[in-house]
Chains A and B, each alone.
Chain A
Amino acid sequence: MKGNSVIGVTLGDPAGIGPEVFARVLDDVSTKCEIVVYGARWALELGAKIAGVSPNARYKFVDVGIDKPVDFELGVVSPVCGRIAVESVEAAAADALSGQIDAMMTCPLNKEAIHAAGYSDIGHQEILARLADVDATATMLMTPGLRVVHLSTHKSLIEAGHYVTRDNVLEKIDLCHRTLTRWGLQRIKIAVAALNPHGGEGGLLGREEIDAIEPAVKAAKERGIDARGPLPADSVFNRAIEGEFDVVLAMYHDQGHIAIKVHNFHESVTATLGIPFVRTSVDHGTAFDIAGRGVADSRGTTAALDAALTLAQGALSNDA
């Protein structure tokens, strides 16, 4: 392996908890990686002050060069802060695409702020898909003991239900298998969750299992992928936690998010599948209500940084 991995970190929205939480993480960072921070320097300085730390870890800084707005206030939506957040992600993604950094970890941005700044993206994943020019992405949530990939995320439940087709499910099983193999898992066992209660009970409680999920699992098996399902959503996560599966493919946002957050609320990490570089993120938002108070929990951010390093090195383990 070449020397230390280089992890790019975007600070997110300066009015949120991203900079203060990351300042705290930076104060206690692993020596196994080099850090490049993307954002506004004033935001990190303010974050360090709020967190009460003066990080002396070595890191490079890529400043997007946007001044602090005169009317800046922590916890308040601002178009300038939205622009800083997006431009930080754009700069980091450009470096990831050109191979100057090995992975990126993003701190939260605020959807309203980026919309106020004139961007139409819903979040990081859409921005990154646009920059990398890909359309088949997926969100994985991971905590110690449980990994979940989502068939879809930001859709209403009715639209998410309509998205459950054989081709969509098969594409995500395949993406899941390819990506997790690259990240280090071996002989991956994929469980596919059902959409309907009790897995549809043979068609009595819905037909998507018979019409879409079963054919997709069958086709995946024919490609040599160890996929199982559809399995009822109220037991498949227990089985994965007990070690029967390496990853669960959830059919909609809350199906996967509920399981992850019930299992381990504070250490869940997001990773994006389907883009040509590693990107992880903490699984919470800007938390404007507590920004600036120095009380935000930094466990998730530490976990996200560790995960970025693990995935960049292809060192994900079936047992973790």
Chain B
Amino acid sequence: MRMAVTMGDASGVGPEITLRCYANGELANDVVVYGDAAILRAGATLLKMEVPIHAVEEPRQVIQGSLNVVDLGLLNAADLTPGILRKDSGAAARAYVERATHDALKGEVAGIVTLPVNKEATRMSDPDFIGHTELIAQLCDVQNYSMMLVTDDVAVSHVSAHVPLTEAIRRVTKQRVRAVIELTHKTLSMDTENPRIAVCGLNPHAGENGLFGDEEKKFITPAIAETVVVGINVSGPYPADTIFHQAIHHNRYDAVVCMYHDQGHAPMKLFDFESAVNVTIGLPIVRTSVDHGTAFDIAWKGTAFTNSLDHALRYARKLASKRHSV
């Protein structure tokens, strides 16, 4: 089972984390990197590491005992400029993801783990670029997906992610909430029988019976009722300020469905900043990501945390193996 790792923006921590994980023996032979071999070779020299890098054109050409790279040949050694925002490295980072997604759709790799792109850099060549999640969903031609954050304790999925808050409120519809409950159920069912799902309200106190907003009555409660009918173990809407405590400290729920980006992201970062894995659910392929950015300020200094790549790879392998066994 080959797993793709896209190395991310060359100026950021992605390629460095890739090299250091390989050197630490944390990248199994089943990993194939999508990126630029020239950057990885120059980076290994910069970090004074000896990493055997094997450039291939197709993922099936990988060999044992090397860090295999599907080499897109977009950047040269001279383009390794730590911490510098560049149009070419931003465009290259996007290209690695595009190629890996196509290979995953063809079945050449069992899943993709993405290292960070720098949005500002990528937008220099693609002004409409919002993020990995949106790009991959678009390449897969899927509208019905959701961003999920996973830790050992709980999974949190989102009805919307990278949209303005006023737009996020408009996206709280019965159909969409129902779809995200179903996607969450389907994903968690891979390793948890009858997963317990809690759904957040949108408004303070989950609307307090219509006193502070009616989206709960109009959309969220009916969506929950419909998914209960089809046998999903789901309940709510619950006030968003108490449900995380119930889910995590009292282990009452396996997943929480959130109505907007910060409703899920803020508590997850307060609970478990280091180990959260970002998973896109609802795609025809497996895709996970580390939950941090390019960190230009510390890139290529040998200090970036490498744990999150390990977490993201492990979760991707788990999803991929369940998918294969079905």
Interface residues of A (CB under 8 A from B): 111, 122, 153-161, 195-198, 200-201, 204-208, 232-235, 237-238, 241, 252-255, 257-263, 265
Contacts and interface: CB of A to CB of B under 8 A. Distances in A.
A157 B241 contact: no
A77 B36 CA distance: 68
Contacts of A156: 203-204, 207, 212-215
A255 B207 CA distance: 15
B267 A258 contact: yes
Interface in B154-173: 161-167, 169
Contact of B270 (A153, A158, A196, A262): A262
Residue among A156, A158, A205 with max Cβ neighbours from chain B (10 Å): A156
A269 B24 CA distance: 47
B323 interface: no
Contact of A158 (B166, B244, B245, B249): B166
Contacts of B207: 156
Interface stretch (B63-71, B78-86, B258-266, B282-290): B258-266
Residue among B164, B213, B260, B267 with max Cβ neighbours from chain A (10 Å): B164
A161 B169 contact: yes
A254 B261 contact: no
A159 B265 CA distance: 22
Given A156-B212, A157-B213, A201 B266 contact: no
B130 A157 contact: no
Interface in B265-312: 265-271, 273
A234 B262 contact: yes
Interface residues of B, number: 39
21 contacts: A111-B208, A154-B204, A156-B214, A157-B169, A157-B213, A158-B169, A160-B204, A161-B169, A197-B265, A198-B162, A206-B164, A206-B165, A208-B165, A237-B266, A237-B270, A252-B204, A258-B244, A261-B242, A263-B270, A265-B245, A265-B249
Contacts of A160: 204
B119 interface: yes
Nearest to B213: A156
A197 B204 contact: no
Contacts of A195: 165
Contacts of A122: 211
Nearest to A202: B120
A254 B263 contact: yes
B202 interface: yes
B240 interface: yes
B165 A157 contact: yes
Contact of B262 (A233, A253, A257): A233
Given A155-B204, A156-B213, A265-B249, A258 B241 contact: yes
B165 A201 contact: no
B164 A157 contact: no
Nearest to B201: A254
Interface string B183-211: 00000000000000000001110011001
A238 B263 contact: no
The interface residues of chain A, by DSSP majority, are classed as: helix
Residue among B130, B166, B208, B240 with max Cβ neighbours from chain A (10 Å): B166
Given A200-B164, A262-B244, 6 more contacts: A156-B215, A157-B215, A205-B163, A237-B266, A254-B263, A260-B241
A254 B240 contact: yes
Nearest to A112: B209
B169 A234 contact: no
Nearest to B128: A204
B263 A262 contact: no
A158 B214 CA distance: 11
Interface in B100-115: none
A155 B204 CA distance: 7
Contact of A262 (B208, B215, B260, B271): B271
Residue among A159, A196, A257 with max Cβ neighbours from chain B (10 Å): A196
Contact of B241 (A204, A205, A254): A254
Contacts of B260: 197
Given A154-B212, A158-B213, A196-B164, A259 B270 contact: yes
Nearest to A254: B240
Instruction: Give the 9 A-B residue pairs with the shortest CB-CB distance, closest first.
Output: A156-B213, A206-B164, A257-B241, A253-B204, A197-B261, A234-B265, A233-B262, A262-B270, A234-B266
A262 B249 CA distance: 10
Contact of A259 (B119, B162, B208, B266): B266
Given A237-B270, A255-B262, A197 B163 contact: yes
A197 B166 contact: no
A43 B260 CA distance: 43
B266 A233 contact: yes
B79 to A, nearest CB: 26
Contact of B245 (A200, A233, A262): A262
A103 B273 CA distance: 38
Contacts of A200: 164
Interface in B117-145: 119, 130
A259 B265 CA distance: 11
Contacts of A196: 164-165
Given A197-B161, A197-B163, A197-B262, A157 B270 contact: no
B269 A204 contact: no
